[in-house]
Homo-oligomer: A and B are copies of this chain.
Amino acid sequence: MTQTVEPLVETLKLLADNTRLTILALLKEKEMCVCDIVDILQTTQPNISQHLRKLKKGGLVIETRKSQWIYYSLYLEDKPYLEGILEELPSMKDDIRKLNPDCCK
């Protein structure tokens, strides 16, 4: 084949997973630290860390350290073709409201 869809497929693979797409839906609401995400998704910390690493490597999120916490936020400026999907994500406001208030403190 002359043209290839491969780079696009790599990005879509990052979205095509329940855990990662939920993380993106969460980060769409606001930036979050790892412990917040672990608290909401009810899985292990290494599992979330590994998904975040993939999202970071794929250029979908960026991280900023604030003392001991590392905050992740969406970075989709260079991928406007994902806008439709971003809008299709369900609201995570209810889950964020129920966050353990002792997390990140």
- Are A81 and B84 in contact, CB atoms less than 8 angstroms apart? yes
Number of interface residues of A (CB under 8 A): 34
In the complex, chain A residues 83-97 whose Cβ is within 8 Å of any chain B Cβ: 83-85, 87-92, 94-95
- Are A17 and B9 in contact, CB atoms less than 8 angstroms apart? yes
CA distance A90 to B1 in the complex (A): 11
- Are A81 and B87 in contact, CB atoms less than 8 angstroms apart? yes
CA distance A13 to B6 in the complex (A): 14
**Least CB distance, A65 to chain B, in whole angstroms:** 27
Stretch at the interface among A18-26, A46-54, A67-75: A18-26
Q: How many copies does the complex hold?
A: 2
Q: Which of B1, B42, B89, B90 contacts A40 (CB 8 A)?
A: B1
Q: Which residues of B contact A3 (CB under 8 A)?
A: 25, 90-92, 94-95
- Are B88 and A8 in contact, CB atoms less than 8 angstroms apart? yes
CA distance A7 to B100 in the complex (A): 28
Q: Which residues of B contact A13 (CB under 8 A)?
A: 16
- Are A90 and B4 in contact, CB atoms less than 8 angstroms apart? yes
